[in-house]
Chain A
C-alpha cells in the first residue's frame, strides 16, 4: 500500500513539474501569471485536446471573480493536475478524425475541395479565424489539384506529430 501511495505521489509531482514548465514559458513577467489568451496553448501542449467550449469551461474555473485578463498559477495548477490525472480531453485517434472528414465529404469523392474545407472551418462549429484557416489550407491543400486529399493529409500530420 505504502509503495502504491508513493508511486501516486511521484506521478502527481511529475505532472506538476511538467505543468510548471509549460506555464513558465508563458509567464513573461515572472510573477506566476499568464495571459488568459495563452492558456489554451498551455493546456493543449500538455496533451489535452478540449473544444473551445470545454476550454472556456476550464477557464471559468480558474479565472478571478473580476476577470483581470491573467490567470494565476496557484489556481491553474490544481485544476490542470486534476484534468491530467483523470485523463480528460484525450487526443483524437486517427480513425475518428478520418471519419469526421468523411462526413464532410458528402458525395464520397475521397477529397474535399479547397472551398468546402474553407467553408466548413470558417463558418461552422467553432469557426477558425482567418489566420487559422490560411495556415491549415497552406498545409492541407494539394497544390497540383487544389483539393484536400484528407487521408494523405491526416497520415502526414500524424507522422509529424
Chain B
C-alpha cells in the first residue's frame, strides 16, 4: 500500500504548493490594489487640507481688513460711511439687555427637553437624551445657559492651572466643529464628565457641523455644573466673524428665528471671556493653535482678554494684544526650525521645533498640546515628541476622511490616545467606495479653485506655449499650477484627473476647464467679473452676512453697491461704478430695491457641465 499512498501524498504536495502559489499571487495583487487606493486617499486629504488653509488665510486677511476699516472710520467720529458705523454699532449694541430671557414664555405646546435652574446632573442627562433624538432646546433655556456661562467665565483667568492629583487623569479633546455624534461617542466611550472624570475641550466647538448649538449647550451645562472639573479653551472659530463664514450663525438663525440674534450677541461676549490656555500639573501647556517666538505666557496671563473680540478697538495696545491672541489661536507647528509668520498680515505663524523647545524650557514645561489641524489618525506627535496635535472631529472633510481622537493624561504618565470614527450608515462601505467618495468631493473642490483662476492659469500656460499649439510639457503645466494656485499639492500625480495628455505626452491645457462651467443665468455680467465673483464667493457671502444684521438674506441694492465697492478696494480690483450699478440693477429682478444675495451668489458656483465629456 506504501506505493499508492506515496503517489497520493506527492500529488497532494503538488496541489498544495500550487494553492500556496495562487494564494501568494492573490495576496500580492490585493496588496498592490489597496496600496494604490491608500495613496489616492493621502492625495485627497492633501487637497482638502491645502484648500482649507488657503481659505483660512483669505479669512484672516478679510478680518484684518475689517479691523483696519473700523479703526480707520472710528477715528472719523462717525463721519465715515454709514455702512461701517452700522457694523460697529451692531457689534457694540446688545451687551445691555441680557436678562431678556426671563420674559420669554415657554408655550405649553413645547415638546423639547425641560430643564430647571440651577442645573444639575439630571439636566445633562435630559439634554443628551433629547439631542440624540434631534429635539431642540427652547430659546429661553438656551439664553439662560448662555447668560450664566457668561457670568461664570468673567471670573476665569486667561491661563487656567489644573492639577490631576485628585482625579489621577484628565481627558483632552480637540476640535468638534458642530459634530454632535463625535461628542456623544466620546462620552459613551470615555464616560460622562464628573469630578472623577474631568475633561478639557480645546476650542473649535462650533462651525461646519450641523449641531454647534447643541454642542455649546452641552459643554456650557457641564461647565456650570462642574466648574472645577470641566474646562474650555478658546479656539479660532470662537469668533463671530468666523461663525458668519463657516455656518454657525446660519445654524442659530435657522433654529432660533426670533431669539437667534440675541444668542449671537451673547456668544460674542462669551467667546471673548473663554480662557486662552490651560496648564496641567505645571507640566503640560494646552492651547488651541500654537505659539510664536514672541509668545510670553506672563503677558498672556495678565492682560484683559475680553478686550480682544472678533472685531476691534482702535488702540495700538489692542492691536498688539490682538496679534498675541491670534498667534495662540491660529498657529501651526512646522518641521523646520524657526518661526515664520503667516504670509498675510498678523495671521498667526508656523513654529519650528526650536521655538517649542525654547518656550517649554523657559517655563519649565514638558509638553505642548494643541488642536486646530485635522489629522488623519485623530492625533499626531511632532517636534521630537514635545508637541501633540489632538483633533476630535472624525469624518471632518467627508465621510471616511479621518478618525477622531481624544487624549488621556495624568501626572507622570505617558499620554494615551483613543481613536474612533463616528459612522452613520449601517452598511459597511468597501475601501474603494470610501476612497472614491472623498476623492470625488476633493476633486470637485479643487476644480472649483482651478476654474476660479482660469484667466491667470491661461496666462501662465500660454507663456510656455509660444507657438500657440494648446499644448505644454508636463513640467511646465505643474509649475504653472504651482505658481498660480499656491496650493502645496503633488500636481504631477493629480494631473491625470485634471487635464488630458495628447498623444505626444504633452498636456492639452484647455482640458483643465473643459467640463466645468459657471452656473450663471445672468448673461449681462461681464465674463471677467463672473470669475472674480466666483473666486471670492465666500468672502462676499461673509461681507453680506455682516451687513445683513437681521440675517434675513436680503440687503438693499444700495447696501450691495457699497459692499461691492468696499470689497473691490480691499482686493484692489479695478471695477468702475457703472459696472457695479449694472450688476446691482440686473440682479434685483423684481425691482423692489432688495437683493437676495444667497441666491445671487449661488448663481456663481462652478458646476460640472451636464453635457460634459
Contact = CB atoms under 8 A, between A and B. Distances in A.
Interface string A106-129: 100000000000001100111110
A96 interface: yes
A38 to B, nearest CB: 9
B26 interface: yes
B571 interface: no
A136 interface: yes
A101 B29 contact: no
Given A41-B39, A45-B36, A124 B336 contact: no
A44 B31 contact: yes
Contacts of A24: 490
Contact of B36 (A52, A121, A125, A161): A161
A40 B33 CA distance: 12
B435 to A, nearest CB: 10
Contacts of B28: 49-52, 92, 126
Contacts of A17: 475, 492
A16 B24 CA distance: 30
A25 B492 contact: no
Given A18-B492, A29-B335, A100 B26 contact: yes
Contacts of B35: 40-41, 43-45
A100 to B, nearest CB: 4
A25 to B, nearest CB: 5
A31 interface: yes
B108 to A, nearest CB: 49
A57 interface: no
Interface string A77-114: 00000000000000110001101110110100000000
A88 B543 CA distance: 57
Nearest to B430: A139
B344 interface: no
Contact of B490 (A21, A28, A101, A161): A21
A18 B493 CA distance: 7
B437 interface: no
A105 B382 CA distance: 49
A60 interface: no
B23 A44 contact: no
B23 A125 contact: yes
A30 interface: yes
B34 interface: yes
Contact of A104 (B22, B39, B432): B22
B85 interface: no
Given A21-B492, A25-B490, A40 B31 contact: yes
B504 to A, nearest CB: 12
A161 B42 CA distance: 16
A9 interface: no
B19 interface: yes
A120 B19 CA distance: 8
Interface string B1-38: 00000000000000100111111111111111111101
Main secondary structure of the interface of B (DSSP, over half): helix
B57 interface: no
Nearest to A26: B42
Interface in A115-161: 120-121, 124-128, 132, 135-136, 138-139, 157, 160-161
Given A22-B39, A29-B382, A120 B336 contact: no
Interface residues of B, number: 40
Given A40-B35, A44-B32, A132-B30, A103 B18 contact: yes
Given A25-B42, A31-B335, A139-B432, A124 B25 contact: no
Interface in A7-21: 14, 17-18, 21
B493 A104 contact: no
Given A21-B493, A29-B335, A121-B27, A101 B22 contact: yes
Interface in B328-379: 334-336
Contacts of A49: 28-29, 32
Contact of B46 (A25, A97, A160): A25
Contacts of B25: 92, 96-97, 100
A106 B12 CA distance: 12
B416 to A, nearest CB: 21
Given A18-B492, A25-B43, A136 B32 contact: no
Given A30-B336, A124-B19, A139 B431 contact: yes
B32 A135 contact: no
A110 to B, nearest CB: 16
A128 B23 CA distance: 10
- Which of B19, B32, B43, B430 has the most chain A CB atoms closer than 10 A to its own CB? B32
Contacts of B334: 30
Nearest to B36: A45
A21 B423 CA distance: 32
Given A22-B39, A24-B490, A25-B46, A103 B30 contact: no
- Which of A30, A45, A120 has the most chain B CB atoms closer than 10 A to its own CB? A45
Nearest to A41: B35
- Which of B29, B336, B380, B475 has the most chain A CB atoms closer than 10 A to its own CB? B29
Closest 10 CB pairs of A and B: A44-B35, A45-B39, A125-B23, A125-B24, A139-B430, A103-B22, A30-B335, A100-B22, A124-B23, A21-B490
21 contacts: A17-B492, A28-B382, A30-B334, A30-B336, A96-B25, A97-B25, A97-B29, A100-B22, A101-B26, A103-B19, A103-B21, A104-B23, A104-B26, A121-B23, A124-B23, A125-B20, A126-B27, A126-B28, A139-B430, A160-B432, A161-B33
